[in-house]
Amino acid sequence: MKKSFYQVDSQELATDLKTNLQDGLTTEDAKKRLVENGPNALTAKKKKSLFAKFVDQFKDLMIGILLAAALVAALTGEQTDAIFILAIVIINAIFGVFQESKSENAIDALKKMATPKATVIRGGQPEQVPATDLVVGDLVSLEAGDIVPADLRLVDVMNLRVEEAALTGESVPVEKTDKTLTEDKLPLGDQSNLAFMNAHVVYGRAHGVVVATGMQTEVGKIAGALQGQDETKTPLQENLKSLSKVLTYLILFIAVLTFVIGYFTQNMPVIDLILTAISLAVAAIPEGLPAIVTITLALGTARMAKKAALVRKLPAVETLGSTDIIGSDKTGTLTQNKMTVEKVVLNGEIVDLAGQNPFESADLSKAAGILGDIMTLNNDSQLTAEGLVGDPTETALIDFNEKYRPERLAELRGHNRLQEIPFDSERKLMTTIYGAGDVYQVTVKGAPDAILSRVDSVFDNGTVRPFTEADLAHYQEANGQLADQALRVLAFAEKSLATLPAEAKSDEMETGLTLIGFVAMIDPERPEVKDSVAQAKAAGIRPMMITGDHPQTAAAIAGRLGILEETDDRSQAVMTGAQLDELSDETFEKRVEDVKVYARVAPAHKVRIVQAWQKKGKVVAMTGDGVNDAPALKVADIGVAMGITGTEVSKEAADMVLADDNFSTIVSAVKEGRKVFANIQKALQYLLASNLAEVIAIFTMTLLGWEVLAPVMILWINLVTDTFPAIALGLEPAQPNIMSQKPRGKTANFLSGGVGPAIIWQGIVQAAIVLSVYGLALAFPDHAGSTLVHGDALTMAFMTLGLMQMVNAINVKSVYNSELNVSAFKNHFFNGALFFSFIAMMAVVVIKPLNPIFHVTNLDLYQWLIVIGASLSIIVIVELVKWVQRTFFNRG
């Protein structure tokens, strides 16, 4: 098996890559390799043009039927009908392009992240070159403040620490080494002799050999995964696709059946049958549905934006409402991404800072004062115009002093450091020397085990006394307790010197120390997240943590947030990336329901976790902020990126961005998503019940040999009376118990919850009423001394169908509950929509110049009374049916 770069000795690497560890490549060799292998840049796949997206909107079979109907109408002389049909199709296509915000900007964002310059040694001389000119084998120089320009195998390291949270999820900077590692299949976070492209150098310096550039780097592999990953269809898109198929086949069947019956039983002319088939197609297809869905989603998007949830892809609004699983990154998402001192050990006592200020305690103040001084003096962080800059661990120590005693902090910052022994991974210590005259103070901080092995006294209750074996056991136990809570522990010690040594040496300066105490810190959870996790659970949503951090740290934070519960078996509920690699897909799918925390995972692991849940039919939301989260954000049903701490890559790959980085915002977004689905379901019930009524009416008219409703009539009804009330239904308020319901998941659809049966019986009732009005008009042509013409009967059926659909919009606000109450009219936009639709519907009959366009006649008062009475009857009938369902079938 081929070795990984971290397993290859530096000399062997130099031989393999034909480079020199001191002088690097020659300029000529570098130029040759650049020509052969291309620049150190990320490539993006070609995006669809706006025109191509517009053309795609016409590939749907239902749209094809409408276009065919428009063509036939034009060829048979029905120019008005053809223009109306074509206009509706084009309007919907424009909405579709608006809805399709699937631009692949993630790769562009990755390219922008690349550092523009790099310090490279070529021919033994350092020089600044564009990062894009780096080639495999180049020798690169790194120092604090640099961005790593390519993937490097480190060959000469001086106290290097690199912050790579965006790639690995590690919450603190990683200490790097130039030693060869021997373990197999190490996760990225543990490949400590490699530095990865786009990571930040926060401390020290190093030289490294370029082992991968461009798309071959770890960031490049993520870019490739983003390019190759198909866009995940949302439940909304899948529902609409399925519905479209069903309606298409139904339309074709009914049209063919009508043609056959009309031709063989009624002896109707072929042209008339074609026009009838067109009317059926127009009646059956909910032309306004795509626009209504888009507008409803857009309205939901606007409401969510006011709550700091910025939606990039419209279907994501509804998808949130069906979410079963939320897989969340830890660092910066569930936590504050800022190391914070939580506890200290003084006088041998563990002090929780959440409940006590050690500087105000009579027993602890002296020890706290000395500890605070050492934390400030033994510290390399710098105060700049942009704020505190340095290693997060050291900035946390300064923040501690800033919080409790800012005056003393300002005073100590004026002290001059005389000598120092920098931190290194062998000693696990850092030492500084301050002072003047007869007294010089030596301050030491480091790993507890390293400090405890070098002390011979301890500061205890205001005095210094000898350090005993009992003290050693006591402090080791305290260290173990804090480590078990996933707290990072540092020990602090000091001693005094009468003279300043010529050179600070470890064996002299770091022995005979006085132990002052411990400091325990962690990247703490966001204070609001615990309640959000509880709300998500109450809504039937399962939150998971998926992080690149250590298992112990991840489990501790998950326990504090309630993601892990006390009853959970940690051996089953916590899984590492290495453990996941050992499982087959089949085995993992069986275990996935037991795991609540994933630690030390790579980007490929996150995708695998999401896909395992998706195979179980679950709707998965994934949150994250780093480059490493981007593939999972894209493959998830909905990707949620952080707006403040998130990288541009994660934002571009996501469906939604949280402007406030607040996990609790997701809960609000879920509620909005559930409301959007409910409102789309209302609009769909309204549209399909109306369209079913139209289809049944036209089909029955054909069987009876009656004149059928013309295509332009149906289009006008669908455009005016359906569209505006349906849009207004998208503004209905959420049901009070919407967040106590379980997620509907992928198996549910728009016809579930009683909506499907309601569409059928309400469509049948409406058709029956329309046919009754038409039949009544034909049966009793004479009234009040006037003669009812055939056109009047068709006009009455047309107006009854249109007005009744508007009235039925009130009924669909609830499948089973009565709408005969004041709350039914609290939606003022809905009231206005009904009024506008009523005026528009009446206009085509009342305004005589419009009569010939819509094939209608003018009606008298008697005829209007029949139309209005029949239209209002749908309220009485639906309310009666709902009462029966509630009373005898326990519905609602």
Give catalytic residue positions: 329
DSSP symbol at 525: B
Write the single-letter amino acid at 206: A
3-state SS, one letter per residue, for 651-690: HHHCCEEECCCCCHHHHHHHHHHHHHHHHHHHHHHHHHHH
Question: How far is it, in rounded angstroms, from Cα 892 to Cα 885?
Answer: 8
In the numeric block, the tokens 């004149």 are attached to 707
Composition of the chain by helix, strand, coil, percent to 5 = 50, 15, 30
Report helix, strand or coil for 804: helix
* CB distance 5 to 154 below 8 Å: no
* Joined tokens for residue 856: 């209608």
Secondary structure of residue 27 in the 3-state scheme: helix
Q: How far, in Å, CA of 795 to CA of 710, rounded?
A: 11
Q: Residue 436 pairs with which residues in a beta bridge?
A: 439
Q: Select from 540, 490, 499, 549 the least CA-distant residue to 520.
A: 490
What span, in angstroms and rounded, lies between the C-alpha atoms of 683 and 686?
Answer: 5
Nearest Cα neighbor of 663 from 429, 333, 386 is 333
Main-chain dihedrals φ then ψ at residue 329, nearest 5 degrees: -65, 155
**Cβ-Cβ contacts under 8 Å for 4 (sequence gap 6 or more):** 186, 191
In the 8-state DSSP scheme, what is residue 1?
-
**Cα–Cα distance for residue pair 442/444, rounded to 1 Å:** 7
> SS3 of 276, please?
helix
Q: Tell me how far apart the alpha carbons of residues 807 and 803 are, in angstroms, rounded to a whole number.
A: 6
Strands (E), 275-406: 309-311, 325-328, 340-346, 349-352, 382-384, 387-389
How many C-beta neighbours within 10 Å does residue 106 have?
28
3-state SS string for 28-76:
HHHHHHHHHHCCCCCCCCCCCCHHHHHHHCCCCHHHHHHHHHHHHHHHC
Cross-strand pairs, 387: 384
Contact 725, 833 (CB under 8 A): yes
